[in-house]
Amino acid sequence: MNDLSQFAITRKWPAQHPERIQLYSLATPNGVKVSIALEETGLPYEAHKVSFETNDQMSPEFLSLNPNNKIPAILDPDGPGGKPLALFESGAILIYLAAKSGQLMPDDLAARYETLQWLMFQMGGIGPMFGQLGFFHKFAGKDYEDKRPRDRYVAESKRLLKVLDERLAGRDWVTGDQYTIADIAILPWVRNLIGFYGAGELVEFERFPNVRRVLDAFLARPAVARGLTIPA
């Protein structure tokens, strides 16, 4: 029997299925990376919503699992050596799930490092820059009279989209023919940029047809459609 009682987070979000991976998340670009990966791999999991409206991410229970108070986080009752493993940071979780399932990563070692390279491109570039653009365009920053901060992130977002568009020319996915965790990391952020943030016109998204093509293929995947709504 899987006993997760040693983890304080289970007191706030009790595990109905303690033998499954426990996902603590919200349907944001970073959150859905993990729910999509779980849906794609078929690993059994149980999702728990971490509500920002009630500051769940600042609760002692959540902080006991992720002291950086960010979603997503997971608790795998069957981690390495059969022992429970708690993980935060979406990129680290994607790497772990790919290794655990034997999916979403190339077998060739060089191609694996290439995949990780593009995962880091998202973590260090696309996520932070698109997120800042969203703040200055959609949220509180939109009221700032000085538009130079917004325009800085618009310019950088365009540059990143150009890098991505050139990379995708003649390729089905970021690393070639194989769909990987790099795609799962990058494409939810692109979707959010032109959808939720409403910044498609601002970044001239029509200039990046390869990104649009691959985004459409990504969104057509059944596992992606399910993962984008989890947790409900």
Q: What is the pLDDT of residues 3-55, one digit of tens each?
A: 899 999 999 999 999 999 999 999 999 999 999 999 999 999 999 999 999 99
Q: Where are the domains of the chain?
A: 9-101, 109-221
Q: Which residues contact 43 (CB under 8 A, 6 or more apart)?
A: 21, 97, 100, 101
The CATH number, out of the four listed (3.30.300.20, 3.20.20.70, 3.40.30.10, 3.40.50.1970), of the domain defined by the range 9-101: 3.40.30.10
Taking the domain 109-221, which CATH number applies? 1.20.1050.10
Helix, strand, coil % (nearest 5) of the chain?
55, 10, 35
Cis peptide, bond prior to residue 44, ω within 30 of zero: no
Q: pTM for this one?
A: 0.96
Phi, psi of 185 (to 5 degrees): -75, -45
In order, the DSSP letters of 85-139 are EEEESHHHHHHHHHHHHT-SS-SSHHHHHHHHHHHHHIIIIIHHHHHHHHHHHTS
Q: What is the pLDDT of residues 136-156, one digit of tens each?
A: 999 989 899 999 999 999 999
pLDDT of residue 3: 82
Q: How far apart are CA 155 and CA 210, in angstroms?
A: 19
